[in-house]
Amino acid sequence: MAEYGIHVAVVVAYFLVVLGIGAAAFRQSETTAEDYFLGGRTAKTVVLFMALFGTNVTPFVLMGIPGLAYHHGVGVFGLNAAIVVLGIPLTFWLIGYPAWIAAKRTGAVTPAELYVRRFGVRWIGYLMFAVFFAYTVPYMVTAVAGVGIAADTLSGGALGYAPATGGILVITLLYTSLGGMRATMWTNVFQGAVFLGFTLLAFFLIGDRLGDQVGLGADGLRGLMTRIHADNPRLFEVPREGPFAPGEWASWALAIALTVIAFPHMMVRIFAAKDVEALKNACRYYPLAMILLWVPAVLFGVWATVEHPGLVGKESDAVFPMLIFDHLGPVLQGLALAGILAAVMSTLDAQLLTLSSMLTRDVLPAGLDERRQVQLGRVFLVLVAGLTWAVVLARPASIFKIAKLSFSGYVTLVPTLFLGLRWRRFTVAGAASSIVLGNAVLLLTWLEVVPKAAQLGLLPVAWGLLAAIAGAVAGSLLSPPTSPSVAEAVLGPVREATTTPSP
């Protein structure tokens, strides 16, 4: 119980810092919708980078990736991280940059709102919101469930799954509803430092201590890797089957590289950038930060096979907290829980705020005054959090499997996001055809209504993306073009910025 008290003290201290940052952001905030939902579009390099980085780090990385590496070995790094560190910054620039230009010029606050202005019809915003909502809530579930698993493991069952998951939602709601985007971005700087710093510290401490215990004629990390290679060499091989089969690997590469820019909460973070230099710097720093996080995440899963063999299915989601419980003292265990909380909250706050802004801006009737939009945004925060908790308590599939479906769904929106900013002939019919056809094919292949044997070794996300591209092109060519005066409100600023050399 003494150790449990230390865990609680560390976590409470972390919560107090986060709430203090939220209160400070509240004192700086204004009552406009743009300030509440976008922080006044004032994010500079450090804040923007940490917000983008923190928003993209969830239990998918800290819990799901170690769980996957536990079963498949070091090849998981090549399956995910090698593509992530190159693909994501590229999409930030190819899609995020023109979207930032257009959103700033038109005053759009949400991704759906930007594309409503691109096509001049409100119903496309409803469709985009529906798809964003359908894939964001399951992704939020993975984050909150990760907290429940970690808290239950690190406290030895003293802090249960339900109170831990409910508590994280309440704390996140408090500072997000108070300070809006400014609070979430400021806290992301602190949270990013906490989870990245702790992950690197845990990597060296656990590797050294576990290596000293089990090493074969060598100490520390070297001894640990020698022992694992001797006992389980398959973890150091890359098979040509399962997720590493060429078709599946290429399909997943598409998903993991393209999905992040389609997260509505990532796009909104980009909208909040103060200037192009902040966005460029975020793209430059992103690969290094992701490598520093993914290398430990993969190796935690490989190391756990030594002390916790025989885990099945989603049991492996808990290997990171298991290693911490085995090798670190109560203070560092409390810091570990705070680190996982930081990773979760840095994403969860963005997701809650973005869905709230979309409900307010994209679903409710236009014309609400600024103060009313902020008030309703706070109400929607509570409703979305309640829905998320209800799903979390149902204990769905493994974190990796849930995230995989969400990531695949987001990818079906990428053709619309890209072509809407780059192709004048792209129409609202093309956008709708792309979204509907892409998601229909994704679900038909995911549920194996189309037999797996007929999918030619590709994952459902590949077929969904191909269908979305086909729908975008065919729907646009078979429908009348968007009025130039409407389309140019978005395309004009993008063309001007992307054809004019930077000073």
Residue 181 CA to residue 357 CA, distance in Å, equals: 10
129 near 362, Cβ under 8 Å? yes
Tell me the per-residue pLDDT of 187-203, one tens digit each, with 9 for 90 and over: 888 888 888 888 899 89
Nearest-angstrom CA–CA distance, 112 and 360: 12
Q: What pLDDT sits at residue 370?
A: 74
Neighbours of 412 (CB within 10 A): 30
DSSP 329: -
- What global pTM score does this model have? 0.87
Structure tokens at 57: 């780090």
Cα separation, 336 vs 10, whole angstroms: 9
Q: At a CB cut-off of 8 Å and minimum separation 6, what does 20 contact?
A: none
Q: For position 167, what pLDDT does the model report?
A: 85
Domains and CATH numbers, the chain: 2-192+224-397 (1.20.1730.10)
Which segments in the chain show pLDDT lower than 50? 503
Q: What is the pLDDT of residue 503?
A: 43
